[in-house]
Amino acid sequence: MPRAILCILDSVGIGGAPDADKYGDVGSNTFGHISEWAASGRADRDGLRSGPLHVPNLDALGIGAAIQLSTGTLPPGLSPTAKGGRFGVGREVSKGKDTPSGHWEIAGVPVPFEWGYFAESEPAFSPHLIAEFVERAKLPGILGDKHASGTDIIAAMGEEHIRTGKPICYTSIDSVFQIAAHETHFGLDRLYDICQIAFELTAPMMIGRVIARPFIGEDATSFRRTGNRRDFAIAPPEPTLLDRNQAAGNQVYAIGKISDIYAGHGVTHKIKGTGIPQLFDKTLDAMEMAADRALIMTNFVDFDSEYGHRRDVPGYAAALELFDSRLPEIISKLLQDDLLILTADHGNDPTWTGTDHTREQVPILLFSPSLSQGELGIRSTFADIGESIAHWLGLPPGRHGRSFL
């Protein structure tokens, strides 16, 4: 009986979308530019890795062919053909380049509305919002109140946060309100509590997520974020693939931050994990446990959070190689009727300007022991991915997208 394993390589885009000009992202190409950078010989600089990008397993599944289909250019060292499975390109119809938009559309539900965003000025938040937040959460005030990189603002303000008890509040180009606080000095449960209050205040503004960003350490040199992040998210506007599979009596394994992205809807098994190795381990564990017609969905967030936003090209390259090196473990565990899908939710080109997501097309790579190889073409919506999985699992068609199987 069929099962589906959906791996979302968070931010691994493959070339600017047709409307990238509206976002200032014409010419962005996350995977392609990393491949070009690695082939240029500059990868020796930090001693992290060297030489051309080595991703033989992704290449065999068609990543090079997908990038060439997306951009018309084949990155150095990659093959123009797939040696197994099927490859294609996903094109997003939802507005914006946010995590929920991409994920919801992948699961068959394009976002039908505009997200709310905070001003790029400083302060970023309205005085009324902060005053109500501080009063309801019983806080002495807040720090930050601006657009910022999470790691940078924690390093800059973490010591003052510990001293004053004021949480660090910041945002980005995405539709988010982020709150960083120390796990022990401030308290993890207290952080979650104030994030719930912030979510109640920002949801009417159509702010997609309030994100709890806990960290540990005692000074700027030792602060580091932990795996206890939690996203408080607006729920999808209609049932997604996860809801549909759960309603049919089937299992839905949500690994990493998947459950948070869908506000817990449609999830039967929530499994937390941090880092690419652990997320791979959790995915393999789920494959051992999953019953017939189960959906296993994993978000590999490190590509985005650790390397894309930080514009860390060698780190991103090394992460792609690490992911590639472990792909055979998943493939070897596939049953005859299992379907493996690799895709992404947006881009985050580490060679691009700024520190935010890039509006890109995404790869769609499919493999199953029972599936012939071929090309899927350029799909007009990410929702085709969800509808294809629904078809594979024997679910009725949804309202958006169409199966390519």
Q: Is residue 121 part of a domain?
A: no
pLDDT digits (tens, 9 = 90+) for 262-280: 999 999 999 999 899 999 9
Q: Is residue 321 part of a domain?
A: yes
**What CATH number should be reported for the domain holding residue 334?**
3.40.720.10
Q: Is residue 78 part of a domain?
A: yes
Q: In terms of domains, do 280 and 381 share one? A: yes
Domain that holds residue 83: 3-113+237-393
- Which pLDDT score is estimated for 159? 97
Q: In terms of domains, do 63 and 139 share one? A: no
The two three-digit tokens of residue 300, written as one number: 């590999």
Q: Is residue 52 part of a domain?
A: yes
- Which pLDDT score is estimated for 173? 79
Q: How many domains does the chain have?
A: 2
Last residue in a domain, options 183, 206, 233: 233
Q: In terms of domains, do 210 and 241 share one? A: no
Are the C-beta atoms of 272 and 227 separated by less than 8 Å?
yes
Are the C-beta atoms of 53 and 387 separated by less than 8 Å?
no
Q: What is the mean pLDDT of the chain?
A: 95
Degrees (nearest 5) of the Cα angle 386, 392, 397? 55
Q: In terms of domains, do 254 and 376 share one? A: yes
Q: In terms of domains, do 246 and 358 share one? A: yes
3-state secondary structure of 257: coil
Last residue in a domain, options 233, 255, 278: 233
Tell me the mean pLDDT in the region 95-124: 92
Burial class from Cβ neighbours inside 10 Å (0-12, 13-18, 19+) for residue 334 reads: middle
Q: In terms of domains, do 131 and 201 share one? A: yes
Q: In terms of domains, do 103 and 241 share one? A: yes
Q: Is residue 300 part of a domain?
A: yes
Cα 16 versus chain centre, distance: 17
Q: Is residue 99 part of a domain?
A: yes
- Which pLDDT score is estimated for 1? 81
Q: Which of 2, 117, 17, 23 is nearest to 382 (CA)?
A: 17
Q: In terms of domains, do 280 and 379 share one? A: yes
Q: What is the DSSP letter of 35?
A: H
Q: Is residue 404 part of a domain?
A: no
CA–CA separation, 139 vs 330, rounded Å?
Answer: 47
Last residue in a domain, options 204, 233, 262: 233
- Which pLDDT score is estimated for 45? 53
Q: In terms of domains, do 254 and 362 share one? A: yes
Q: In terms of domains, do 95 and 9 share one? A: yes
Degrees (nearest 5) of the Cα angle 233, 199, 173? 70
pLDDT digits (tens, 9 = 90+) for 357-378: 999 999 999 999 999 999 999 9
**What CATH number should be reported for the domain holding residue 153?**
3.30.70.1250
Q: In terms of domains, do 91 and 136 share one? A: no
Q: In terms of domains, do 380 and 305 share one? A: yes
Radius of gyration of the chain (CA): 21
Q: Is residue 333 part of a domain?
A: yes
CA–CA separation, 215 vs 183, rounded Å?
Answer: 6
Cα 385 versus chain centre, distance: 16
pLDDT digits (tens, 9 = 90+) for 313-362: 999 999 999 999 999 999 999 999 999 999 999 999 999 998 889 999 99
